[in-house]
């Protein structure tokens, strides 16, 4: 069978898919960012995979990807890779302040330990800025990076008005107000040695490892209450509802999920392989590999999926604004309460997205 591949620029990808859906011109197979799935299903754009996907492929899929691809009880998408968040640290600097170096999520620093370490590091640092939160990234990063904080504290994006959410994001605000965070306009805070800790995803590993070699260590995000939580989710594949030959489309998805394809793809983009068997064969992500933390987080559920709701585009827009405001000093409770109200109003306006 032949495949025709269309590339779309990432910035306007969703609007182009929406336009194609309105015009009835969706392709047979679509790749898109995971959290958009629920809206596409709600709009009737995608068909459930059901029995189209091989049983072996389904059981081999990472649990995090199965969760991302499932909406209202049915699986709609598969991913060739997943993602993860962690703190990259400079071993020498952390050891010089006597910090314990956790390497597994269950050993994550508590908030008290984390703040102690930040303060000790800051005392030894020239400008006191010791933490990089990649505030130079825009848009979805803020939700990807900081909604796990809410979950780790015992709240989530659907419950922004819980006191746990306010408490967790207040910590973020305090780190900013105490001058602990490098604004990182040049995206070089960690590689230039300006900070000891960088809060970012798996994709920075090649650059960071090349710069710091053996001095680099990978640390789970701190535990804000109920355990460390990483971000998860990435681009995934689904079959559209207008596809005329779903069986053949599924053949392509089954093919993508074979070890050879998964390993080639993840060798290219550095992401966590999307299947159990490929992880076992990946030098970076298998047991004992330098990036095992990322695969362990996904395999054992130390991560916070973005909420499975058709309202996601709205929710993420509101949350991004809230994080930006909070980091730059706005009153946390007020910001979160008004964000929660906006999200609730949008649900009401859309008949609860039934």
Site string for other proteins, 166-195 (x = CB under 8 A): -----------------x-x----------
When asked if residue 349 is in the footprint of other proteins (CB under 8 A), the reply is yes
Interface with other proteins, residue 206, by CB under 8 A: no
The three-state (H, E, C) secondary structure of 258-315, written as one string? CHHHHHHHHHHHCCEECEHHHHHHCCCCCCCCCCHHHHHHHHHCCEECCCCCCCHHHH
Longest distance between any two alpha carbons in the chain, whole Å:
64
C-alpha closest to that of 102 among 293, 302, 287: 293
DSSP letters, 191-238, are: TTTS-SEEEEEGGGHHHHHHHHGGGEEEEPPPB-SS---EE---EEEE
Among 18, 54, 103, 241, binds other proteins (CB under 8 A): 18
Considering the complex, what minimum distance in angstroms separates the CB of residue 39 from other proteins? 7
Give least dist CB 153 to other proteins, A. 22
Query: Coil, strand or helix: which one is 75?
Result: strand
Among the listed residues 13, 43, 188, 209, the single contact to other proteins using CB under 8 A: 43
| Residue 314 lies near other proteins (rule: CB under 8 A) | yes
Site string for other proteins, 322-341 (x = CB under 8 A): --xx--xxx----x------
- Distance in Å, CB of 68 to other proteins, minimum: 20
User: Considering beta carbons, is residue 44 or 283 the nearer one to other proteins?
Assistant: 44
**Strands 272-273 and 81-82: what pairing?**
antiparallel
Nearest distance, CB of residue 241 and other proteins, angstroms:
12
Positive or negative torsion for Cα 134, 167, 65, 17 = negative
Binders of other proteins among 280-299, rule CB under 8 A?
none
Asked if 321 touches other proteins (CB under 8 A), the answer is yes
Site for other proteins in 114-153 (CB under 8 A): 127
- Provide the Cα torsion 176, 182, 187, 189; round to 10°: -150
Q: Which stretch binds other proteins (CB under 8 A): 39-47, 91-99, 205-213, 225-233?
A: 39-47
| Distance (Å, whole) CA 249 – CA 204 | 33
Label the pairing between strands 230-231 and 81-82.
unpaired
Residue 316 to residue 260: CA distance in whole angstroms:
35
Give the binding range for other proteins (CB under 8 A) out of 27-35, 196-204, 226-234, 316-324. Answer: 316-324
Contacts with other proteins, residue ranges (CB under 8 A): 15, 18, 21-22, 39, 42-44, 127, 183, 185, 313-314, 317-318, 320-321, 324-325, 328-330, 335, 346, 349-351
């Amino acid at each position: 069978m032949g495949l025709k591949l269309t590339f779309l620029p990432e910035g306007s990808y969703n609007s182009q898919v929406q336009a194609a859906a309105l015009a009835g011109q969706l392709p047979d197979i679509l790749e898109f960012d995971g959290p958009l799935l629920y809206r596409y299903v709600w709009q009737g754009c995608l068909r459930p995979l059901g029995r189209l996907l091989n049983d072996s492929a389904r059981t081999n899929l990472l649990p995090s990807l199965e969760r991302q691809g499932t909406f209202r009880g049915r699986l709609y998408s598969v991913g060739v890779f997943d993602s993860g968040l962690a703190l990259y640290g400079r071993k020498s600097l952390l050891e010089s302040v006597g910090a314990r170096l956790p390497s597994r999520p269950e050993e994550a620093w508590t908030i008290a330990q984390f703040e102690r370490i930040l303060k000790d590091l800051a005392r030894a640092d020239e400008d006191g800025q010791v933490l990089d939160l990649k505030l130079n990234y825009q848009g979805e990063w803020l939700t990807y990076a900081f909604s796990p904080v809410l979950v780790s504290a015992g709240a989530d994006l659907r419950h922004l008005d819980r006191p746990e959410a306010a408490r967790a994001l207040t910590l973020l605000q305090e780190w900013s107000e105490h001058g602990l965070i490098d604004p990182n306009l040049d995206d070089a805070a960690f590689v230039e040695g300006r900070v000891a800790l960088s809060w970012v995803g798996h994709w920075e590993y090649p650059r960071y490892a090349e710069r710091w070699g053996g001095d680099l260590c990978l640390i789970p995000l701190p535990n804000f209450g109920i355990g460390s939580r990483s971000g998860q989710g990435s681009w995934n594949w689904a079959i559209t509802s207008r596809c005329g030959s779903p069986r053949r489309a599924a053949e392509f998805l089954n093919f993508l999920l074979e070890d050879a394809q998964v390993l080639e793809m993840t060798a290219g983009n550095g992401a966590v392989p999307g299947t159990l068997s490929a992880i076992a064969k990946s030098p970076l992500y298998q047991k004992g590999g330098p990036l095992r933390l990322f695969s362990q987080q996904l395999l054992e559920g130390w991560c916070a999926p973005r909420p499975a709701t058709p309202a996601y585009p709205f929710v993420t827009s509101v949350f991004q604004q809230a994080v930006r405001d909070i980091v730059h000093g706005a009153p946390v409770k007020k910001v979160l309460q008004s964000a929660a109200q906006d999200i609730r109003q949008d649900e009401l306006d859309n008949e609860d997205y039934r």
